[in-house]
Amino acid sequence: MIKLSGLRKSYASGGGRLEVLKGLDLHIRPGESVAIMGSSGSGKSTLLNVLGLLDGFDEGSYLLADQDMKDLPEVDSAGIRSRTLGFVFQSFNLLETKDAIENVALPLYYQQVRRAERMAQARAMLERVGLGDRGDHRPSQLSGGQKQRVAIARALVSNPKVILADEPTGALDTATSHEIMDLLDEVQQSGITLVVVTHEPDIAERMQRTIYLRDGRIVDEL
C-alpha cells in the first residue's frame, strides 16, 4: 500500500537546510497496522505529513497504492487526501461551529457529494463509532473520547484505504485511550491500512509492526 525508497526531506533553517528524513525505505502492506515511534525531533510527524501528502519530499520515491506521489499536482494530492487517506489528530481538529454530523461529513463536501447523501453517510458512520445519538452535538458538548470518535468517523466516512493517526490517544485518559484503540483495531480489521505515530509503547504493541525513528532514520523495526 505504501512504499518509500530513499525518501529525504529537509527544511530551510537559519540560512541552511535541516534534513529531517534521511533516506527512508519503508514498505507497508495493505491492511497492515504500523506504529511509528521515536523521540521528539526524530522525524515521525514529518514522515506522517509526507505520507498524508500534507507535505512534500525532496528525494526518493513514495508510492501510494502503486501511484507515484512525487511532484503530484496540488489538485490531485487534495483528491487523494480526500478519497484515499483518512486523518486522526491528537487534538481532534473538529470544527467548533459545526455539529458532529457536519464534522464527519466535511470530507464528502470536498468530494462534491450532495448534502442529503453526505449527511446520511455521516450519520451511518457516527452509528458505527457508537455516537449515533450525538449527531447534533457540537464538539464543545462532547467528551475527549467522543470527540476522537467523531474524528475517527470523519476519517472513515470517505472509505479510505489508509488511516494516518498522529498521537490519537495523546489527549485522552488511559481508559478512553483503550476504547479509541479498540475502535482503531476494528478499523484495521476491516482491511484499512493503519499508520499510527505514538509515544506510548502499549499503543504500539497493539500494532502489527513498530518502526523506530531516530534523527530521520529507521533504526529499528519490530
CB-based contact 102:113 (threshold 8 Å)? no
Q: Judged by CB under 8 A, which of 8, 22, 83, 217 binds other proteins?
A: 83
Told to check if 127 binds other proteins by CB under 8 A, we report no
Beta bridge partners of 4: 26, 62
Q: Which residues contact 193 (CB under 8 A, 6 or more apart)?
A: 1, 2, 28, 29, 30, 31, 32, 33, 34, 161, 162, 163
Q: Judged by CB under 8 A, which of 38, 43, 107, 216 binds other proteins?
A: 107
Quick one: 68 or 76, whose CB is closer to other proteins?
76
CB-based contact 63:140 (threshold 8 Å)? no
CB-based contact 152:180 (threshold 8 Å)? yes
**Of the ranges 87-95, 139-147, 191-199, 200-208, which one interacts with other proteins (CB under 8 A)?**
87-95
Q: Which residue has the cell 488511559?
A: 174
Q: Judged by CB under 8 A, which of 89, 120, 138, 214 binds other proteins?
A: 89
Min separation Cβ 221 and other proteins, Å: 26
Told to check if 139 binds other proteins by CB under 8 A, we report no
Beta bridge partners of 88: 165
For strands 217-221 and 67-68, give the pairing: unpaired
Told to check if 52 binds other proteins by CB under 8 A, we report yes
Told to check if 62 binds other proteins by CB under 8 A, we report no
Told to check if 97 binds other proteins by CB under 8 A, we report yes
Q: Judged by CB under 8 A, which of 78, 124, 219, 222 binds other proteins?
A: 78
Min separation Cβ 64 and other proteins, Å: 15
Burial zone of 104 (CB within 10 Å; 0-12 exposed, 13-18 middle, 19+ buried): buried
C-beta neighbour count of 179 within 10 angstroms = 18
Told to check if 169 binds other proteins by CB under 8 A, we report no
What is the size of the binding site for other proteins (CB under 8 A)? 28
Q: Which residues of this protein are in contact with other proteins, per CB under 8 A?
A: 49, 52, 54-55, 74-75, 78-79, 81-83, 87, 89, 91, 93, 95, 97, 106-107, 109-112, 114-116, 154, 158
